[in-house]
């Protein structure tokens, strides 16, 4: 039984030392947070973008005429 705990302790220690996937996990977490923010504020973002394009269309119409 003692050997199992020692092997488990050694495996956990080696796992903690291995940082190979940390960068990927950070990027995935950042993407998840950004997607959540976009989903939460979807209506507000859509309104802002539509207002911006309407302003651009109105301004370009005045320039052309």
**Are 45 and 38 a contacting pair, CB within 8 Å?**
yes
Q: How many whole angstroms separate alpha carbon 40 and alpha carbon 17?
A: 37
Q: How far apart are CA 23 and CA 4, in angstroms?
A: 31
Query: pLDDT of the chain along its 65 residues, tens only?
Result: 778 878 877 877 776 676 666 788 888 999 999 999 999 999 999 999 999 999 999 888 777 76
Cα torsion angle, 34, 39, 44, 47, sign: positive
d(CA 64, CA 25): 50
Distance (Å, rounded) from C-alpha 1 to C-alpha 8?
11
The pTM score is 0.50
């Amino acid at each position: 039984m003692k050997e199992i705990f020692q092997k488990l302790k050694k495996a956990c220690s080696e796992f903690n030392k291995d940082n190979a996937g940390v960068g990927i996990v950070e990027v995935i977490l950042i993407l998840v947070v950004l997607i959540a923010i976009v989903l939460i504020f979807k209506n507000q973002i859509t309104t802002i973008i539509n207002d911006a394009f309407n302003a651009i269309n109105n301004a370009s119409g005045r320039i052309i005429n």
